[in-house]
Amino acid sequence: MNLDTYARETSAAPARSVSDGRFVTVDTKTFAGIHLLIDLWDAHGLDDEKLIERAIRDSVKVAGASLLHIHLHRFTPSGGISGIANLAESHISLHTWPERGYAAIDLFMCGDTHPELAIPVLKRAFNASRAEVSALRRGELP
């Protein structure tokens, strides 16, 4: 599924519903959640732990998720950072390569969240010139 299809389907209320607090139904499809794979290119500040933490916190807030814990780890000598945010609704993970201006970010959220709203937040936070996004429905029921 591409992101345009996902955004169109999930924003079409009242077709979207959360039946048990975790699984989502959009039209006739029921699934655990959406997993967004985001590649940011020509990005800046990818070695700045405070900026990365703020971007994650802002992403959690705009998506309507609940933050449980953030852990960031800096690698030397590149200054790259790997991090994970544990959410009540799943997770956000991030891996950066500052020397290449590249970040790989995963957002997996279930329940009544909207992870797609975090895309412009992340792109803006890192002043990325390009964001490539893939969207997957996880746990889709037959």
Active-site residue, 114 included: no
**Residues, the chain, total?**
142
Active-site residue, 134 included: no
The catalytically annotated residue of 66, 110, 114, 134 is 110
Query: By three-state DSSP, how is residue 131 classified?
Result: strand
Any bridge partners for residue 107, and if so which?
Answer: 36, 92
The catalytically annotated residue of 44, 82, 93, 95 is 95
What does the alpha-carbon distance between residue 4 and residue 14 come to, in Å, rounded to a whole number? Answer: 18
Active-site residue, 95 included: yes
Which residues, including other chains, have CB under 8 Å from residue 2's CB and lie 6 or more apart? 134, 135
Residues acting as catalytic residues: 90, 95, 110
